[in-house]
Structure 1
Amino acid sequence: MVKQKLILVGNGMSGIRCLEEILKINPDRFDISVFGSEPHLNYNRILLPTVLQRRATFAELTLNDREWYKKHHIHLHTGETVIKIDHEKQMLKTDKQRELSYDHLIIAAGSIPFFLPIPGADKEGVVAFRTIEDCQKMIEAAQKYRKAVVIGGGVLGLEAASGLQNLGMEVRVVHNTHYLMERQLDKKASKMLQRELEKQGIHFLLKRETEEILGGNRVKGMRFKDGTEVEADLVVMAVGVRPNVQLARESGVEIKRGIIVNDYMETNLPNIYAVGECVEHLGIVYGLVKPLFEQGTVLAKRICGIEGNRYKGSVLSTQLKVSGVEVFSAGQFSEDASSKSIKVEDEVAGIYKKIVLKGDQIIGAVLFGDKKESSKLLEMIQKKQDVLDVEKVKLFPSLTNEGNTVAAMAANELICNCNGVTKGAIIEAVQKEGLSTVEQVKKCTKASSSCGGCKPAVAEILSYMNSDEFTREIEQPTMCACTSLTEEEVVQQIQLLGSTTVKEVLEMLNWKNKQGCLTCRPALSYYIGMIHPEYENNHDAALGNDHWKATVEMNGTFSVVPQMYGGMTNSEELRKIADVADKYGITEMAITSEQRVRLMGVKEADLAGVCGELNMHLSSPFRNKLQNIEVCHGEAFCRCNKNSALNLAASLEKRFEYLTMPNRVKMAISPCLHNGADRMLKDIVVIGMERGWEIYMGGRGGGKIRAGELLCIAESDDEAIELIGGLLQLYRKTACYLEQTWEWFDRVGLIHIREVLFDFDLLQPLIESLEKDRLLQKEKISM
C-alpha cells in the first residue's frame, strides 16, 4: 500500500498533538514531514515562564525528542520555513528552496507577538516573550542590567514579570487599564492578585499608555502619554499575539483574524487543514492549549477517514504560572442582569472564590488563593451542569488546607484539564507501571505535560498513595469487559462528546467489542436517554413487543397486564377483559401481587388483536420504570379513608408511568399506619397520617431486608406528588444504571436528598425537567 503524503507546517504543540492522535489511529497510513521555523525540537512554549522563574530548564521543555520522530518515520526539518503553497498542484516550497508534494497539508503556524507601533520599539533591549530565544535574551539581560519594564498586565506579562523579579531585576509592570488580567478576573480577584505580587517586589503602573521608548541604540527608559517617564534597561512587550496567517493568506486560504476553518478543521481549499493559534473557528481564535488539543483530535479523525465529533468550540480557562500565587478563572466570570453568583472570601487567608450561574447552570468561576476546585468547576461549566446536581455547600468545601484534598476526590475527577487525565487514570498508571515521580507520571499519562498547572496535584497524588490513608479500593471496576472505562467515565465522555446513539459511543470510545454486550448496551442506552431525552424518545418508539408491554413466557406465549391505576377498576373494564379472554381462548388469568389482572397464554398471532381490543394502557413488570403501585386497602377493623390512598396511587401512576428509571422502582401506599408495616420493604413507601403523608425511602427486600427511613412529610396529595417527583428525578439524574434505590440512598445520603427536596430553588428545576421528559415519552408512545 502506497502511503499518502502528509505535511505539517509548524512544529509546535497543537500540530504535533494532532500527529500523535493520527499515529494512534493509523500509524502506517501516511508518509509524514514536519517543518518548523525555530531550530528546536517540539517544546512546551507554555512553560517558558517556569524557566525564568528557575523552576525548570530549557531541556525539560522538550516534548518529543529526535528518537520519537525517528521511531515514527517522521521527516523533521527544523529551522526551515515554508514560504509558498501551490494548492492547485498540491506543492509547497521552503526558504531553503526545498519543494515537496502533499496529499494532505496541515497548517499549524501558531501566532506571532504583537509589538506596539511606537517610536523606539525596534531598539536593542526591547523583546517579546514568545520563544526560547526571547527567554534567553531576558536571562542574559538580567545578568548585566538592573531595571526591567513589562508592558502588559495580562497572564503572559505577569508571568514574565515574576520571572524577571526572580532573576534579580527591579520590575515594573505597565498596564493601560484600572486593574490586572481584566479579561480573566473580576475586580476583586485582580486587586488581591496585585497586592500579592507587590509583596513579592513587583511594582505596577496602571492606567498608563506608552508613548515612546527612550534611548540610543539600546533602551534607556520609557515615556508615557501623561508626560511621566521611567528608567528601563529591558522592555518586554507582552501585549498580546496575532494568528500567524501570512503563508495562508498568500496561498489563497480564507482569512479573517485567523485561518477560517469549519467544524472539522478544514479550510476553504481542498486537502488543506489548520489547527492551533492560527485558526479562527466561529469567530473565535483560541490561545490556550486545551482547545488546540481538542481541535487536533477532531482533525486527526477527519484525516484518517473516521466519522467523529465536530469541533464545537471550547470553554476558556486560565491559570497563572507565578510561584506562590494560585489563580484560576473559567467561562463567563462577570455577573450581568441574567446571572447571579455565589462568593466566598477569607481576607485573612487571602482566599476568594466565586461561581457565576445563569438559571441553574454554572457558567463561570474565579478562584484566588486556593484553586483545588478548579478541575471540578471547569468540568461542570463544560458539561453545562445544573448546580442542583451538586450540593452548594460542597462547591467550596473548605477555606483551609486541612486534610488530604486528593483523598476526597472521585476517581473520575480531572487532574489535568489540558490532556483530560483523571485521578483514577494516574493511580492506575502508578500501580501498573510502578511510577514514583511526577516526571514518570507525565511521560506515562501526559498529566502536567502542557501548562504544568496540575504538577502539584500529581505530586499530591503520589504522596497520598504512599500514605497510610490510601487503599487500593480506589480502583473502580470497568463498566464491562468491552471497555477499560468505569461507568462514571463513560457517562462523562458521553456528555463531553455529545454522543446521541449507542453506535456513536461504541465507536468514539474505542469499545473492544464493537457491538457491545448485554451489560453495556442497555446501560449506554439509558445514559444517553437521560442526557438526551429525545434519544430515549426515539429508542422507545422503536421497541416492538415492549411497546405493547407484553411479556414472553417460558412456553413462547405472551402475557399482558391491563393497567388499573391504583388497583381500581370498574364493571366495564372487567367485562371488556372477560370478552377479550373468551374471544381469544385465554383461559389463564390471575390477580397479581400488585392488584392487577394478568392474562396469560396469549398466542403471538393473537397479541396485536388482544392489545387492540382491550384498548387499555398495559403495564410491564420487567422494564426499568415505576412499577404498579401496591395499595393497602386496610383491614376490616380500620376505619381510615381508603380512597385517599387509592386516588394518590392512581395520580402517581398516571404522572410517572412513561419514565425510564435506572432500575425498577416499587412503591406502596397505605392509608394509615395499621397496614404500613409490611409495605416498608419497598423502594418508596407512603403512609397516611393525620398530618398528611409520610414518605419513606431506602427499604430493601431479598437477602438482607431492611425497612425504609422517613424522608419527609407532605401535607397534601399535591405536595406528596411534587416531592416524590423530585425524588425520582434526582434518582434518575444521579444513579448509575441498575443501581437500586437503596444502594443509591446509601451512597448519596439521607441528608443530601433532604437538602435538595427542601430547597425550592433545587426542587423546582427537578420537577420541570421531569415533566419535560415525561411529555417527550408520552408524546412518542401515543403516536
Structure 2
Amino acid sequence: MTQKLVVIGAGMASGRALEYLTETAPGAFDITLFNGEPRGNYNRLMLSPVLSGEKTYEEIVTHDDAWYADRGIATRFGEPVTGIDRDRGVVLSAGGETPYDRLIVATGSAPFIIPVPGKDLPGVITFRDLDDTNAMIAASDGGGRAVVIGGGLLGLEAAAGLAILGMEVTVIHLMGHLMERQLDPAAGYLLQKDLERRGIRVHCKGATKAILGEDRVEAVALEDGTVYPADIVVMAVGIRPETRLAKEAGIAVNRGIVVDDRMVTSDPAILALGECVEHNGQLFGLVAPLYDQAKVVAATLLDDEAAFRPVQTATKLKVTGVNLFSAGDFADKEGRDDIVFRDPGRGIYKRLVLEGPRIVGAVMYGDTADGTWFFNMIKDGADVTDLRETLIFGPSAGGAKADPLAAIAAMPDSAEICGCNGVCKGTIVETIKGGAQTLDAVRAGCKASASCGTCTGLVEQLLALTLGDDFARPVAQPMCKCTDHTHEDVRRMIRSMELKSIPAVMQELGWKTSGGCHSCRPALNFYLLAEWPLEYHDDRQSRFVNERNHANIQKDGTYSVVPRMWGGVTTPDELRAIADAADKYEVPMVKVTGGQRIDLLGVKKEDLPAIWADLNAAGLVSGHAYSKGLRTVKTCVGTEFCRFGTQDSTGLGIRLEKVLWGAWTPHKVKLGVSGCPRNCAEATCKDVGIVCVDSGYQIGVGGAAGMEVKETEPLAQVATEQEAIDITVAFVQLFRETGRYLDRPHKWMSRVGLDWIRERVMDPGTRQDLVARFEISQSVYRKDPWAEHARAEERDKWAAMADLTRMEAAE
C-alpha cells in the first residue's frame, strides 16, 4: 500500500528532497505539498535580480505546475498549515484535515523584527520572499527614500536593488563593518567605499531607536540622535528558524527543530530539514548543507542508509557587481600570521590567515578567482610552508599576469622551494644548469619535488626561467582516446563543476566519442561514485564483466564463487554450507585461496543467483573477489593461540575487514595483519600491512606481491588498535579520492608521495574528515550484491532460467 507523505513548506530544501525522492522511487509515496505562499518552489537566492529588474519571477521558478503534476504531487499552495495532530497522524489547515504516514516539516525561517517602536507601521518590509520583493518594487515607483536596517548579505542585496530602481538608499548596520560574518574589517571597508561610490549611504555602528511615522513610515531614528527620512524601511537584520508548528505539536525544539543524523525529529514519523532545523546544536542558512539534508531525507524515507554530516563551506558572494569570498576562521587570535595583498587602484584585497604551516582562513575582495584553491587548502589542512613566498598570488605563484615568472625570479637563491627535502632555489638552478632539463631529472638530481609534490609548480617555473624556450613542459597522458583530459583533470572538473552523471561529464567536458569507451566509462563510473556517494547511482553497464556479474569469469565461461571469511576465520556451519553448495551445484573444484578463503570454481552463470541465495541464507556474503575494492584481510592467530603473538591480530583483521568491505576503490586493495615481527600474515607486501609489536602497531603501505614485488613503506606506528583502524580507513579514503582508476596504491603513492599521504592521514582533523567521508560512502555501498532487494526480480528470472536448463538437460 502506498504511504501518504505530507510536506509542509515548498522551499528550496524540500523541493530538492522531492526531486531525489521522485527520481529514485517514483510512485513510492502519495505526496501532498502545503505552502503558505500561493506558489511552489522558486530560487530565493535570485530574488535580488528580480528586485533590480534583471530577472522576472518566471525565470527563477524551479518547479512549475507541470513538474508537480507529472510527479503526481497534490499541491495546496496558499493554504498554510495551522497544526499537526500527531496522535491521529493528520495536519490541519483551512481545507480541513490531511492524514499522513510520514511528514516532512520544512517551514524555513522567519525574518527577525527589531522590537522598536514603529515596527508595525505600513511601509516596514522584510526581505524573505517574492511578496516582499514585489512590495519593495511597488514602493519604489517614482523614486523615494529607503532605509535598510542590516548590513549583511540580504540587506546589501536589498539596498543594491532599490538603488537600481532609483531610490535614495541608506544602510544602517549595528556592527563596525559590513558583513562582519563573512568579511574582516579591511574587506568590509572596501565594500562600504564601493557601495558609497554607487550612491548608497552606509552608517555603521548604528543602533535603531525607533521607526517614526503616523499612518505609515516617515523616518528612522538612531540611538546617537541621527534621523534618516524614509518612505520604506527594509528589515534585514537576521532570521530565526520557524518552529511554531513543531513546538505546538510537542516535537523537540531548541533554537530549531531538533533532528538526528537521518533528519528524523523526536517523532519517528516526522522528518525536518532546511533553515528550521537544528542538528548537533548547529543551525544552517547556506544552501549547500540544506541540499545535503535533502539527500538524507529522501534516503531515510526510502529506508536507505544515509547520515547528514555538515562539511565546511566557503562563502562566495556577489553584491552590486563586487566579488567577495570568505572561508574558514579569519578572526585575530594569538599565534596567527596574516599574509595580505592590497591593490587599491583595482579595488583588490586578499588576506590569508595562517596558523603554523596551514591556512585557516581566507578573505578576498574584488578578485576571487583563486578562492576555490585556497578553500581546498583549508579543508585539506595543507602545509603551505614551501609556497609561503608566493602563496597570496594563488596557484600560478606569479602574481603579475603579464610575467608569471616574476615572483620566482625575484626570490633569493637561499629561498627554500622544497620543504620536504630542504632544497633551496639556488640548488635547483645549479641542478638545471648541470644538465637536468626535465622535472624527473631535477627530482633525481637534487630531490626537489620528489616527495609531496606541492612544490612541483615552482620547480617547473624554475625550469622555464632557467631554460627559457628550451624547456619542454611535460604533456600529461589523457585518460583515453575519447578525451584530451587526464584522469586528474576529469576528477577535478567532476568536483568543481558538480557533474553527477556520465552523460553530464561527456557533454560538459567535450567527449570525442559518443557514449565513451571500455576504458573511460568504468573510470567515470568510479569517479562519480567516489565524489557523490549520496547522489550518484552506480551504472552497472559501465563496470567490467566480473563486476556486472558479481563473480570472476573463468576461461571456460564458468565463474568462481568466493564467500567472505572475515580475517580468514570460518566456522563449521559456514563450511557445511559451502560443502552443501558445492554438492548441490556440482562444483568441479573447491580451493583454498592465498587470501585465506575458499573458492568454488566452475559455477555456471545461470546457477550464480541460486548458489548465492543458499550461501546468503547461511550468513555468508560476497568476498568481492572480482571487484576494484577490498579483497581480503589476511591474519595470523596472534595472541589468542600463538606463543609469539604480541597483539590480537585476528581480531584486528576482522574488525578492519568489517569496516572496509564493500568499498569501491581505484583498484583492488589487500590487507594483512601479523601478530608479531615474524610476519606470518605477510603484512609487509600488502597494500596496507600492520605488524603488531609489544608497544602497538606498525602500519606500512604500498606493498605488492604480483607482477611487481614491493615491500611496504612505513606510514606510522601507533599505540592503540583504534588509531590503527582510523589511519587505515583514512589511507583508503584518500586513495579513493585522489587515486587514478586501475592504479594500485603503490603506483598512486609514487605519484603523490608518501610524505603528502602521511601529512594528511596523521593530522587528527584531516584524518577525522577522511573517515567521516568514507562512512558516508559506506552507508550507501556497503551491501552484499546478491542480498540486495533490488536484485530479487533478476535473481528470480535467472533461477527460472536455471530450472529450465536443468529440465532440458534431464530430457
Coarse TM-score class (shorter-chain normalised): 0.5 to 0.7
Instruction: Give the secondary-structure state (helix, strand or coil) at the position aligned to 2:701.
Output: coil
- 1:510 is the counterpart of 2:550: no
Deviation, structure 1 residue 391: 6.2
State the shift of 1:199 in Å: 1.9
Is contact 1:317–1:331 with CA below 8 Å preserved after alignment? yes
Q: Does 1:386 align with 2:465?
A: no
Q: State the distance in 1 between where 2:678 and 2:749 align.
A: 38
For the residues of structure 1 that align with 2:496 and 2:159, how far apart are their CA atoms? Answer: 31
Q: CA deviation at 1:34?
A: 0.3
Instruction: State the partner residue of 1:676.
Output: none
Equivalent residue runs for 1:19-168 within 5 Å: 19-94=18-93, 96-168=94-166
Q: Residues 351 and 387 from structure 1, CA distance in 2 versus in 1: closer, same or farther, beyond 3 angstroms?
A: farther
- 1:150 Cα deviation after fit: 0.6
Alpha-carbon distance between aligned partners in 2 of 1:391 and 1:220, rounded to the nearest angstrom:
56
Residue in structure 2 matched with residue 778 of structure 1 by the alignment: none
Question: 1:274 — aligned with what?
Answer: 272
Moved more, 151-160 or 539-548: 539-548
Which residue pairs with 1:15 in the alignment?
A: 14
AA matched with 2:137: I
Deviations 1:606-632 (A, max 9, x none): xxxxx9999676869985589xxxxxx
Distance 1:661 1:195, change over 3 A: farther
The 8 Å contact of residues 151 and 235 in structure 1, kept in 2 or not, is answered as yes
Corresponding residue for residue 759 of structure 2: 765
TM-superposed CA distance for 1:23, in Å, is 1.0
The change in CA–CA distance for 1:359 and 1:519 in structure 2 (over 3 A counts) is farther
Instruction: State the SS of the aligned residue for 1:287.
Output: coil
Residue 410 of structure 1 corresponds to 489
Query: Residues 300 and 483 from structure 1, CA distance in 2 versus in 1: closer, same or farther, beyond 3 angstroms?
Result: farther
Maintained 8 Å contact 2:702/2:745 = no
Contact 2:501 2:536 in 1 (8 A): no
Name the counterpart of 1:658: 700
Structure-2 residue corresponding to 1:329? 326
Partners in 2 of 1:403 and 1:242 — Cα distance? Answer: 50
| 2:497 is equivalent to residue 485 of structure 1 | no
Cα gap change, 1:481 to 1:430, in 2 (>3 Å):
closer
Q: What SS does the corresponding residue of 1:143 show, helix, strand or coil?
A: coil
Residue 475 of structure 1: how far off its partner (Å): 11
Report how far residue 200 of structure 1 moved: 1.8
Matched, 1:218 2:297: no
Letter in 2 for 1:47: M
Indicate the larger mover: 59-68 or 739-748.
739-748
- 1:452-601 to 2 correspondence within 5 Å? 484-487=524-527, 489-493=528-532, 509-513=536-540, 546=594
Partner residue in 2 for 1:262: 260
Q: Which has the larger radius of gyration?
A: 1
Verify: 1:429 aligned to 2:508, yes or no. Answer: no
In 2, the alpha carbon distance for the partners of 1:10 and 1:230 equals: 37
Deviation at 1:251, TM superposition (A): 1.0
**Offset, 1:342:** 4.7
Per the alignment, residue 290 of structure 1 pairs with 288
Retained in 2: the 8 A contact 1:478–1:485? Answer: no
Q: Distance in 1 between matches of 2:259 and 2:10?
A: 20
Cα distance in 1 between the residues matched to 2:175 and 2:506: 50
**Contact 2:373 2:395 (8 Å CA) reproduced:** no
Structure 1 residues 187 and 253, CA gap change in structure 2 (3 angstroms): same
Using the alignment, how far apart are the partners of 1:745 and 1:614 within structure 2? 24
Cα distance, 1:337 vs. partner? 3.5
Matches of 1:348 and 1:539, distance apart in 2: 66
Cα distance in structure 1, aligned partners of 2:8 and 2:506: 39
Match of 1:533 in 2: none
CA distance in 1, matches of 2:283, 2:343: 36
Residues in 2 aligned to 1:253 and 1:177: alpha-carbon distance in whole angstroms = 35
Measured in 2, the distance between the counterparts of 1:318 and 1:23 equals 30
Give the equivalent residue in structure 2 for 1:581. none
The structural deviation recorded for 1:26 is: 0.9
Shift in Å, 1:253: 1.0
**Alpha-carbon distance, 1:89 to partner:** 0.6
Question: Could you list the per-position Cα deviations for residues 148-171 of structure 1 after superposition, in whole angstroms to 9, with x for gaps in the alignment?
Answer: 111001110111111111111111
Of 307, 312, 318, 2:309 maps to 312
SS of residue matched to 1:348: coil
Cα distance in structure 2, aligned partners of 1:106 and 1:612: 51
Q: Render the CA deviation track for 1:177-217: whole Å, top value 9, x for unaligned.
A: 11111111112221122222222221111111111111221
Distance 2:683 2:254 in 1: 59
Identity over aligned pairs, percent: 35
CA deviation vs aligned residue, 1:106-132 (integer Å, no higher than 9, x gap): 000111111111111112221111111
Out of 246-255 and 510-519, give the one that drifted further.
510-519
Further displaced range: 204-213 or 194-203? 194-203
SS, match of residue 11 in structure 1: coil
With over 3 angstroms needed to count, the CA separation of the structure-2 counterparts of 1:110 and 1:612, relative to structure 1, is closer
Is the Cα contact below 8 Å between 1:663 and 1:738 reproduced in 2?
no
- Two-structure CA RMSD over aligned residues (Å): 4.9
TM-score by length of 1: 0.60
Within the candidate set 351, 356, 371, 1:354 is matched to 351
The 1:261–1:471 alpha-carbon spacing in structure 2 relative to 1, beyond 3 Å, is: closer
Paired residue total: 549
Match of 2:235 in 1: 237
* Helix, strand or coil at the partner of 1:320: strand
User: 1:512 offset after TM fit, Å?
Assistant: 3.5
Does the 8 Å CA contact 1:480/1:520 hold for their aligned counterparts?
A: no
Tell me which amino acid in the other structure corresponds to 1:658: G
Which residue does the alignment assign to 2:5?
Answer: 6
Question: For residue 300 of structure 2, what is the aligned residue in structure 1?
Answer: 302
Contact 1:326 1:369 in 2 (8 A): yes
Shift in Å, 1:231: 1.4
Listed as ranges, the matches of 1:435-454 within 5 Å are none
Equivalents in 2 of 1:80, 1:614: separation in Å? 72
Code of the residue aligned with 1:205 in structure 2: it is H
Task: Report if the CA contact (8 A) 2:525-2:538 is conserved.
Answer: no
Q: Deviations over 1:206-255 (max 9, x none)?
A: 11111111122121111111112111112111001111111111111111
Answering whether residue 248 of structure 2 is matched by residue 250 of structure 1, we say yes
Q: Which amino acid aligns with 1:144?
A: G
> Which SS does the other structure have where 2:141 is aligned?
helix
Q: Which runs of 5+ in 1 are unaligned?
A: 433-460, 498-507, 522-537, 550-610, 627-654, 669-681, 685-728, 774-783
- Say whether residues 1:371 and 2:368 are aligned partners: yes
SS in 1 for 2:212: strand
List per-residue Cα deviations over 1:365-423 (Å, max 9, x = no partner).
Answer: 322112223344445555x453469966578135567899xx999333468xxxx7726
Cα distance, 1:741–1:345 mapped onto 2, change above 3 Å: farther
CA–CA distance in structure 1, aligned partners of residues 736 and 124 of structure 2: 60
Q: CA deviation at 1:173?
A: 0.7
2:530, 2:736 within 8 Å by CA — same for their partners in 1?
no
